[in-house]
Amino acid sequence: MNKFIFTAICAALFTGAACYLSLPAFAGSCCGGGGGAALVLPKMYQSMVDVSFDAEKYEGFWSPQGVYTYAPVGYQYRLNAGYGLRLAQNWQASISVPYVWNDNQYSNGSTHSSGIGDTTMNLWYEALEDRSAWKIRSMRDLTPSVTIGPSILIPTGISPYDNKTSSYDITGRGFYRFDANVLIAKTIHPWTASVSLAYGTYLQRPVDREYGKYVEPYEKKLGDRSSAAVSLGYIYYVDSAGDTLTGTVSLSTLREENATINGKRQPESGFQKDAYGGTIAYSSTDSDWIIRISWNSAVRRSGWGNNFPATEIYTVGVSYGFR
């Protein structure tokens, strides 16, 4: 994987990540907190640090029937810290931890709270490598990069089952989740494209309190979730030295099935969200910095989501790779 594919995958992953937010979602906090995006190392790096800042603007919601309704604005801000480490030639691992600020404004007041969100850890295997051809001369030049691996969402955030008494304070979902992930990316200069797919299942857990109040214990499991994101990018060479600006557009979809309590399915607890976005990333050939800005927006129309907040997310991020 090279830098170009890194930026394309960034776009797909960050668009997808915009979908990975929690549902108590706006359980008070406008958007629910949640895990940061996965970090995937370009081939030439031994490790990488990534820091990004998201501003998420709540602009309504889809009802359980999929009807979009505009609602007064709320905000959530996240500082995401990620670290990726190459473990072997084709193996790498990464961790991403968000810190969440909830800024809820209603007509009769406002609340402000913050806390760590849910942590995401990935293990990646680079199954195929893309040579990023300038011109197709053989079938080998058509080979995409394929990266596969599991990830785990660790519920380090504040969930409805902790000792916080208000839904305004939620920064995580309170459940472990295991995902299987596939990233496919291809660059034929100056174009680059990627597809990311994920399927995840939550672990069932006992619950004995809700928003700080002890309740009759029960077993709860959130529904399985599937997500997909595609991106298409164009690489623009800023100068002869090889500095590039990569512009990428992306589409993503996320679905989560209904949760169960004591094995009984909970109607209208699942959700769906479709979103689109764009990323501009700058990288230079003689430096190991990559700077990006992203925008992601829910499709704020009926039928493009259900039972979920519709938000816009603005992201500024910077990565530094260690060779």
Partner 1 sequence: MGSGKMRAFLLIVVLFAGCGNMNDLNPSGSDKRPPEQPGTVGPAVGQNAPNFTLFDTLGNNFTLSSVIPSNQGVVLYFAMEWCPICEGHLDNLRTSVIPAFPNVRFYVVDYTCASVAEALSWEVAAGYTGSGFIVLADTQQSVLNLYQATMGTTVVMDKNGVVRMNEDYKDGTRLQAILANLP
- Minimum CB distance to partner 1 smaller for 161 or for 304: 161
Scanning 8-16, 169-177, 187-195, 314-322 for contacts with partner 1 by CB under 8 A, the matching segment is 169-177
CA–CA gap between residue 318 and residue 235 (Å, rounded): 18
- Three-state SS for 107? coil
Which segment (134-142, 181-189, 205-213, 279-287) binds partner 1 by CB under 8 A? 205-213
Q: Interface with partner 1 by CB under 8 A: which range of 12-20, 138-146, 201-209, 278-286? A: 201-209
Is residue 272 involved in binding partner 1 (CB under 8 A)?
Answer: no
- In this chain, which stretch among 4-12, 126-134, 178-186, 263-271 interacts with partner 1, using CB under 8 A? 263-271
28 class by beta-carbon count within 10 Å (0-12 exposed, 13-18 middle, 19+ buried): buried
Nearer to partner 1, 8 or 298 (CB): 298
Query: For the chain, where are the alpha helices, taking DSSP H only?
Result: 3-19
Give the binding range for partner 1 (CB under 8 A) out of 212-220, 237-245, 275-283, 284-292.
212-220
Question: Is the distance from CB of 160 to CB of 169 less than 8 angstroms?
Answer: no
Is residue 63 close enough to count as binding partner 1 by CB under 8 A?
A: yes
Contacts of 6 (CB under 8 A, 6+ apart): 40, 41, 42, 290
Among 69, 112, 241, 242, binds partner 1 (CB under 8 A): 69
Q: Quick one: 121 or 293, whose CB is closer to partner 1?
A: 121
**Do 274 and 250 form a contact (C-beta atoms < 8 A)?**
no
Choosing from 78, 86, 255, 300, the residue that interacts with partner 1 (CB under 8 A) is 86
Rounded Cα–Cα distance for residues 135 and 198 (Å)? 31
* Cα–Cα dist 252/51, whole Å: 22
State yes or no: residue 263 binds partner 1 (CB under 8 A): no
Min dist CB 156 to partner 1, Å, is 4
Answer for which of 85, 188, 291, 299 binds partner 1 (CB under 8 A) is 85
The H or E element spanning position 93 is strand 91-106
- Nearer CB in complex with partner 1: 42/157: 157
N-terminal to C-terminal alpha carbon distance within the chain? 14
User: What CA–CA distance (Å, rounded) separates 35 from 25?
Assistant: 12
Does 181 contact partner 1 by CB under 8 A? Answer: no
Residue 287 engages partner 1 in binding (rule: CB under 8 A): no
Candidates 4, 6, 26, 124; binder of partner 1 (CB under 8 A) is 26
CA angle in degrees (0–180, nearest 5) for 72-158-59: 15
Closest CA to 6 of 196, 137, 175, 178: 196
Does position 27 interact with partner 1 (CB under 8 A)? The reply is yes
Q: Which class for 190: exposed (0-12), middle (13-18), buried (19 or more C-beta within 10 A)?
A: middle
Q: How many residues bind partner 1 (CB under 8 A)?
A: 68
Out of 137, 140, 213, 323, point to the residue binding partner 1 (CB under 8 A): 213
Give me the residues that bind partner 1 (CB under 8 A), please. 24, 26-28, 60-64, 69, 71-72, 83, 85-88, 91, 93, 95, 97, 106-109, 116, 119, 121, 154-163, 165-168, 172, 174, 176, 205-217, 261, 264, 266-269, 271, 307-309
